[in-house]
Amino acid sequence: MADTNKSKQFFTVARVFFLLIVIPLSLMAILIANGIFKLGVTIKEGAVNVLDQKSQQEIKMRAVNTADEVAGFLNERRKDLLVATIIPNTEAAFKQFVRENQKPLWVREDGKVHQILSYLYTEMGLTDQSGNELIRIVNGEAIAKEKLINVGKPANTIDKTENYFVRAKALKRGEVYVSHVHGWYVNRTDFEKGKRFKGYIRFATPVFDQQGFSGVLTLALDYRHLAAFTDHLVPTQTGHVFEAEVGTPTGNYAYMVDNRGLVISHPYDYHIAGLNPDGTPVAALTEKNSAEMSPKGMAVLDFNLLGFLDPNLPKVHQDAVLGKSGLQIYKFAGHTKLVAYAPIKFYSRDYPAPVGFGWIGMGLDVEKYNELAVQTSRKIEKEAQSWTTTIIVILVLSVILLFLILALLARGVSRSIASDVPVEAQEAGKSYDDDDEEDDR
């Protein structure tokens, strides 16, 4: 009977410890584990949206900053031309001016990428009042007198169509004519063989003497210095990478569009508006000619005509020409793209407000971006699951340890209670139990 009482005392104490310690601890652990799991799910679900919004705004701000840098660059070139009007009209002075205006360029030569100092201006020239060249500097060197031409006739110019002399002659003192980008078109086949678009932007201003208009002064800006603002830029990365999109296609790249809607800088040069050998512009891609042009590797992009690819493409240009920056989603080459665009606020008679020179576009491949966001959310989920597993393991070990401690404590308490009960009380209890058994019989 004593063993039965001890057993009852042990289980009574055990139940008390179980109710007071094990159950609350277990419930608390379950709540903590559940909270961590729910927190992981919430963070995972919110990660894509938070990253998406953050990335969109960062790319938009980068587009705005790049557009402002281009505008500043073009304004400096205009100032250079006006400064050049006060230097002596000699070959030596002109050569010095060209050679003093250089800027670093990243180039690939012999399979290696390195930086060089390159002339900002591939040409500098001065004409008389009839368009006859008096001085022409090309790549830092003077052209012989017998090779000078009359640029008053567009057919005599580099691309056989330039009318900058007539345009500049009509301007007032201090006004500057700025052309669009001029250059020979590069098709896809030639591009993939390593050929790159080369061109220039012509700056021209009238010059005067005591008798009045005396000629036109010109600078031809090397196109590569303009394209460098976007060619080596990856919207989702800091810094610059030489032809990053061509070397390692990511779908994330920057490009430049002029005020007409034509692409003038792009990682893939066969999208850049260029000229045929006869000086006529290569036709832009349209719904009607795409089947004919694409197999030839000819794909000049005019945003006004790209509605057949996605209706939002013309909308980007329509918004940008109003001087607005923004974000737009569109489809291009089978990919969903997010573009951040910002106007290039360089204004002149040829580039009036609000459109100005054109706009900068920064495209982000949405699928690849979402893939990155999903990877991040999966990492968060994995961390949450890891913490949940750790909590469960700790809980199981804690319960086992508590049961062991509980058994030892309960046994000790039971013994303590038994030792405190007098022997007479135990005998009386035994006699009481015997009487109960006889009554039952």
Domain definitions of the chain by residue range: 49-375
The full DSSP string for 261-308 is SBEEE-SSGGGS--B-TTSPBPPBP-TTTHHHHGGGT--B-BGGGGGG
Residues (pLDDT < 50) of the chain are: 2, 41, 43-51, 432, 437
Which residues 6+ apart lie within 8 Å of 186 measured at CB? 195, 196, 197, 269, 270, 272, 274
Nearest CA to 178 among 317, 81, 323?
81
- pLDDT value, residue 113: 83
- pLDDT value, residue 203: 98
The model's pTM is 0.74
- pLDDT value, residue 24: 64
Render pLDDT for 55-89 as a digit per residue (tens, 0 to 9).
Answer: 788 889 999 999 999 999 999 999 999 999 999 99
- pLDDT value, residue 28: 64
Question: What residue has token string 């006060």?
Answer: 86
- pLDDT value, residue 417: 56
**SS3 track for 150-171:** ECCCHHHCCCCCCCHHHHHHCC
- pLDDT value, residue 241: 75
- pLDDT value, residue 252: 86
- pLDDT value, residue 25: 61
